[in-house]
Structure 1
Amino acid sequence: MTALAEPGPKQRIQSIDILRGLIMLIMAIDHTRDYFHLGGINPTNLAVTTPFLFFTRWITHFCAPLFVFLSGISAHLAGTRRTKGGLSSFLIKRGLWLVLIEVVVITFALTLDPGYHFIIFQVIWAIGTSMIVLGLLVWLPLPALAAVGVVLFFGHDILDYIKLPDKGAASVEWKVFFTAQGSIFPLDKNHFLGDFYAMLPWTGVMILGYAAGSMFRSSFEQAKRKSNLLIASLVLIGLFIILRAFNIYGDPAPWSAQKSTALTIISFFNVSKYPPSLLYLCMTIGPGLLLLRAFEGANNRLARIFIVYGTVPFFYYVLHFYLIRLYNVILFFAVGYTGKDIANPKGFAFVPATFGFSLFGVYIVWFCVIAVLYLPCRWYGKYKQTHHQWWLSYL
């Protein structure tokens, strides 16, 4: 144990880096659409969506659950290089750091409002707070910790059947911890907090990732790991199909037959992300585990490209928002908008209602974003391999 007092060399798992890189690239599609899709149509609104628009949104549903799950695995592997106390301290400090980044850096990228009139809690907030909770719970035996994750993962949808407080401090607490879905909290008459990611359902995902991390230790047999991943994947996919088909449990919005086959299929897969329902998590993490299994040993050109992004996810995440907004501002003025058009009643500057492109244009901008970030990500990945300053663990 004394030998683990200070972090040792970081263990990189290629399949994790490949999957993480893939989901980071897919994630940027949705963020690009937020700022460049003309009309601001809600892709999940069956009254106005189209199959391609819904698919553009649906494919990005895989990103947050898989990233949080993989963060749990990474936390477990980080624990192999630290004492239990060192791991707890690291997770709590990194979690607090991520919450600060969400408030100061990501919120500004989203709104371009130096007055911070609308502070936004999204996935970085969820990851940060989940790390804090995990840091407090890592002292538990792994089976007990896994049991906590199972209860949160499979049980939080029970709240759909319970009447919760809708006013006062109790209402705020329930929303923050379990039911937030774009909940707005006034801080004063000019400043507001928007919470889009309920904390504890995401914590359940991270805890289960942490429990699964034991399979990625170097001493764990590869064949057994791949078998376990296959079984877990099939269980989650099967659970999604059965529970969704009969509208039994796991999502507050049941599917129903629509006026066309395409819309009926959309209704079936249109599960709830805010907060993440059980069926949403099964639908995304189940196939994700299959990909994680399939990526073991992958060594083709595409896999190597994904690894470039997957080894520096935080660096990429911050930069991609600012690059999207840079493109946004440049095109805003290039197509003829002026300073009087900057303000937006929704709080997101440089996005007037008449600004944007077709979905095809959105994909072109998205490709430009990820292509430009390739070389910076490759440079930073090499820098992290050859430098070992303490602060690199936080970036």
Structure 2
Amino acid sequence: MNVQPASARLTSIDALRGLVMVIMTLDHTRDFFSDAHFKPTDLQQTNVALFLTRWITHFCAPVFVFLAGASAFLWFARKGRNAPISGFLLKRGLLLLLLTCTVEAWSWNFLNDFRQVDGGVLWAIGWSMIVLAGLAKLPVVIVGLIGLTIVAGHNALDGIRAQDLGGFAPWWAILHTGEDVALGNGWSINPYYPLLPWIGVIALGFGFGSWLQRNEPGTPFKLIAAGTGLTLLFIALRYANVYGDPDPWQVQTTPAFTLLSFLNCHKYPPSLLYLSMTLGPALILLGLLHQKSLHLQHPLLLFGRTPLFFYLIHLYVIHGLAVGLAAITGGPVREIAGGGIWSPNLPADYGYGLASVYAIWLVVVVLMLRLCRGFERLKTANPHWIWMNYL
């Protein structure tokens, strides 16, 4: 792999990553506090405000995985030609899988017995990094092209059903369709982030990182142009309803809900249109941030520099607040401790409206700001604690 000497870490990546993590916190706050016990994207039950509250958080996973790939290349470029990029990605991927089955599992469900592995975003990033550890041995252009091919082409496989594949069915569920996989004796995997498209996103991000680290003249304009082109591609393909998403949009009873149908793309697995709809505007924003000079302690930069710590801790903060509030108000403490609004025995009238959800979200963000600052100070004061570099 041929790389040029790397520049300092790009603050625009940290700022964008920090922004999507703040938005992600809104989604998880809604998960534990909302009085809407249904999918916010269900057009038969939702309203515009609730739909958009969920829709804006769709940006989080694609941007985070894409930037994980870009950051991996920037790490390699910064360390130099002989940097052990494959070993770095392999160890980090394995760590994320371990955290998925332990620390993250208990954060969602304080009563979890760990026999159900929820294959969410950490699961997807972990396996994607492990695959990228192998792909990184190839020329970076090839890695990027592999990623682009997967992202653009995986919807052509939508017609292949796991139940039609015999013994390969569990593997296809993990790779593309996302059905639960029973392992026996009460153990199971719920791979609701099927891996194939996410592998494509991280590989595409790795190739993107190669271009971004050169920081050529006109980079902000090129980022904005690329993001605009990708957004226009989404609009054109979505309007045509011919390829790129298994759920075609339909005319609804009002223009507003017709627009919501247009935006309501398939996330599990993420379709080509879902990824275009999210990564396009993200590239535009990255181009705008590329021109900004942010103070090193800006909250977005701080969150972007401590992503794994933020992710794991914010789940405990939100879940802990939800249990505490339920205890204070005489609410269903056991049900909230057992998984929030997904608990089957949660009272139908439990929860709070969107205004309250947004207020609690802001409280969580302020708490996370203080916690992340404390963590970064601890990390700076103890550079010999090598394990902290993985957080």
**Scaled by the length of structure 1, what TM-score is found?**
0.90
Assess, with a 3 A threshold, how the Cα gap between structure 1 residues 190 and 12 changes in structure 2: closer, same or farther: same
Whether the 8 Å contact between 1:126 and 1:198 is mirrored in structure 2 is: yes
- Amino acid in the other structure paired with 2:202: M
User: 1:252 is matched by which residue type in structure 2?
Assistant: P
Residues 132-151 of structure 1: matches in 2 within 5 Å? 132-151=130-149
> Which one of the candidate residues 215, 221, 225 is aligned to 1:220?
215
Query: 2-side partners of 1:105 and 1:69: how far apart?
Result: 24
Q: Partner of 1:22 in structure 2?
A: 19
How do residues 122-137 of structure 1 correspond to structure 2 at under 5 angstroms?
A: 122-137=120-135
Q: How does 1:30-45 map to 2 (within 5 A)?
A: 30-45=27-42
Letter aligned with residue 368 of structure 2: L
Asked if structure 2 preserves the Cα contact closer than 8 Å seen for 1:111 and 1:347, the reply is: no
Alignment match of 1:93 (pick from 91, 113, 116): 91
Of residues 345, 363, 367, the one that matches 1:368 is 363
Question: Does the alignment pair 1:380 with 2:378?
Answer: no
Q: Which residue is equivalent to 1:69? A: 66
CA distance in 2 between partners of 1:253 and 1:206 (Å) = 24
Deviation at 1:168, TM superposition (A): 4.0
Which digits, 9 at most, give the CA deviation of each residue in 1:202-251, with x for residues without a partner?
0111111110112332x43242x223312321221111011000101100
CA shift, 1:10, in A, is 9.5
Segments of 5+ residues of structure 2 without an aligned counterpart are none
Q: 1:75 to 1:301 in 2, by over 3 A?
A: closer
Say if 1:284 and 1:359 are closer, same or farther in 2 by CA, change over 3 A. Answer: same
* 1:101-112 mapped onto 2 (5 Å cutoff): 101-112=99-110
User: CA offset at residue 188 of structure 1?
Assistant: 2.9
| Cα distance, 1:328 vs structure 2 | 1.1
Q: What do the CA deviations read for 1:14-50 (whole angstroms, capped 9, x no partner)? A: 1011111110000011111111111412111110110
Match of 2:277 in 1: 283
Asked if the contact 2:241/2:248 (under 8 Å) is kept, the reply is yes
Q: Which amino acid aligns with 1:376?
A: L
Q: Distance in 2 between matches of 1:302 and 1:265?
A: 39
* 1:318 and 2:315 correspond: no
Please say if residues 326 and 333 of structure 2, whose CA atoms lie closer than 8 Å, have aligned partners that are also in contact.
no
Q: Contact 1:84 / 1:138 at 8 angstroms: preserved in 2? A: no
Counterpart residue number, 1:232:
226
Counterpart of 2:96, as a letter, is: L
What per-residue deviation string (whole Å, max 9, x for no partner) do you get for residues 325-365 of structure 1?
Answer: 11011112112136665667997599554421111111111
2:328 paired with 1:334 = yes
Alignment-mate amino acid for residue 184 of structure 1: D
| Contact 1:255 1:270 survives alignment (8 Å) | yes
SS in 2 for 1:264: helix
Whether the 8 Å CA contact 2:162–2:173 is kept in 1: the answer is no
SS of corresponding position for 1:119: strand
In structure 2, do the counterparts of structure 1 residues 352 and 108 end up closer, same or farther at CA, with 3 Å as the change threshold?
farther
* Distance of 2:150 and 2:105 partners within structure 1: 28
Q: How does 1:253-292 map to 2 (within 5 A)?
A: 253-292=247-286
Is residue 2:179 matched to residue 1:188? no
Counterpart of 2:53? 56
Q: 1:9 to 1:110 in 2, by over 3 A?
A: farther
* SS state at 2:227 partner: helix
Of the three residues 197, 201, 224, the one matched with 2:197 is: 201
More off after superposition, 50-59 vs 306-315: 306-315
Change over 3 Å in CA distance of 1:339–1:369 after alignment to 2: closer
SS of equivalent residue, structure 1 residue 369: helix
Contact 1:344 1:350 survives alignment (8 Å): no
The structure 1 residue matched to 2:175, chosen from 177, 182, 198, is 177
> Once the two structures are aligned, what percentage of the paired residues are identical?
39
**Contact 2:6 / 2:74 at 8 angstroms: preserved in 1?**
no
Q: Secondary structure at the match of 1:187?
A: strand
Distance 1:30 1:131 in 2: 25
Match status 1:308 vs 2:302: yes
Q: Which amino acid aligns with 1:24?
A: M
Give the residue type in structure 2 aligned to 1:220: N
Contact kept, 8 Å, 2:107 with 2:315, in 1: the verdict is yes
SS of 2:52 mapped into structure 1: helix
CA distance in 2, matches of 1:349, 1:42: 15
Report the AA paired with residue 88 of structure 1: S
Q: Distance in 1 between matches of 2:291 and 2:377?
A: 21
Q: TM-score normalised to the size of structure 2?
A: 0.91
Instruction: Answer yes or no: is the 8 Å Cα contact 1:112–1:349 preserved in 2.
Output: no
- 8 Å contact from structure 2 (residues 296, 302) kept in 1: no
Q: How many residue pairs are counted as aligned between the two chains?
A: 386
Structure 1: 5+ residue stretches without partners = none
